[in-house]
Amino acid sequence: MRLSDFRVLTLDCYGTLIDWESGIYAALRPLLARGRISLERGEVLEAFGRHEASQEKETPRMRYSELLAAVHRRLADEWKVPADEAEQRAFARSVPDWPAFPDSRDALAYLAQHYKLVILSNVDRESFRGSNARLGVAFDAIYTAEDIGSYKPDRKNFAYMLDGLKERGFGRDDILHTAQSLFHDHVPAKEFGLATAWIDRQHQQSGWGATPPVEGARYDFRFSSLAEMAQTHRSEAAAGA
């Protein structure tokens, strides 16, 4: 199997293209400071991931910005810090401030020359627009949780995306699903028979960060960054020239 075997890259955004963990941690600093919370960064992110996954399952039709406010309330309650509506609103609006990974913009510009680029993301349209501006590429299709009415790893999200791509003339064999999260992306993608590329952004870190843990997940390619994936494609092309 080669990267050049595919015509479409379906991409997760947050954790894969956007450094959501840095963004989340920065946006939670006011709550941490006000509550004098002394948890390590990894512990903060683990608590966020646990509450986010639970809230997404409980309220699948809740808009992501509103869901972030709900997660903020849950964290404040867990850490026994009085809730603050202004902090909740700021956290809910923080997604456009989350930084892109340093390699994302250039790697996407290269990959866009060789693939259709499609987003499958657990956010709302407005939040994604802010992130899209940081990534500097025009995606060929964008499918969000707001469009679908559920959050990954719900299988409805992948069915919705595949139906949309089928209407555009692409089948499963054309698609390489590219994502960081084994939990949100690789497990359900494999259930649909998709080839997948794991962008292992946490390869130099311990723990699972803001993503719920998964053992034994399958994938077809593994890269430490999107830049490494783009360079592998270049190498394939040069070898075939």
**Angle (CA) 200 202 203, round 5°:** 70
Of 12, 19, 154, 185, which is the active-site residue?
Answer: 12
E-state strands within 49-179? 116-121, 141-144, 175-179
12 is catalytic: yes
Distances (CA, A) of 18 to 48, 95, 125, 177, 204: 17, 10, 15, 16, 17
* Burial of 45 per CB tally in 10 Å (0-12, 13-18, 19+): buried
Distances (CA, A) of 182 to 46, 153, 160, 169, 178: 15, 10, 19, 27, 10
Q: Which two tokens stand for residue 155?
A: 């299988």
DSSP secondary structure, 109-122, as one string: HHHTTTSEEEEEES
Residues catalogued as catalytic: 12
